[in-house]
Amino acid sequence: MSFSKTPSVGGHIDANCTRCRMLTNHTIVALVAERPVKVQCNTCGGMHGYRAPKAAPQPRATSSRPPSDKPKARTQSADQEHWQRVMAERDAAGARAYAMDQPFRVDELVRHPQFGVGLVTAIFKPNKMEVLFEQGRKTLRCRL
């Protein structure tokens, strides 16, 4: 048995020990294609896969997940469907222009300069109403 640079089972090799967390002398336990794949640490006796001494430190997995998108509005799709159904059934041309000093009734169509045509779904005393617009429900001022 000649001593060559080729590692052999039972030979010694320096390796990073996973348990000692340092470069220690190891005994080669298994070879694949003349490369040590399994070694036993002579310091702690632990057996582990061979890690080359010069191996770069393991890149730290940066847990910088991109911030998740804004969660979808809970009831947006249902509201949108509702709104589309209302717009299909009702005549949006008959919607009354919204004004905060005007009284509105539930189930009335309102035309808002910013949100478009909406359906009054609820009235809250003393001066608020909920209107379902295409982009969702809004609480607007009104007169009762």
In angstroms, the CA 55 to CA 49 distance is 13
Q: Write down the least CB distance from residue 57 to Zn ion, Å.
A: 18
Residue, CB closest to Zn ion? 41
Q: Tell me whether residue 15 or residue 95 sits nearer to Zn ion (CB atom).
A: 15
Q: How many H helices and E strands in the chain?
A: 1, 9
Q: Write down the least CB distance from residue 29 to Zn ion, Å.
A: 13
Strand partners, 17: 22
Q: Write down the least CB distance from residue 44 to Zn ion, Å.
A: 3
**Amino acid letter for position 89:** E
The values of phi and psi at residue 31, to 5°, are -125, 145
* Site of interaction with Zn ion (CB under 5 A): 17, 19-20, 41, 43-44, 46
Q: Tell me whether residue 46 or residue 116 sits nearer to Zn ion (CB atom).
A: 46
Q: Write down the least CB distance from residue 5 to Zn ion, Å.
A: 24
Neighbours of 29 (CB within 10 A): 16
Q: Tell me whether residue 30 or residue 99 sits nearer to Zn ion (CB atom).
A: 30
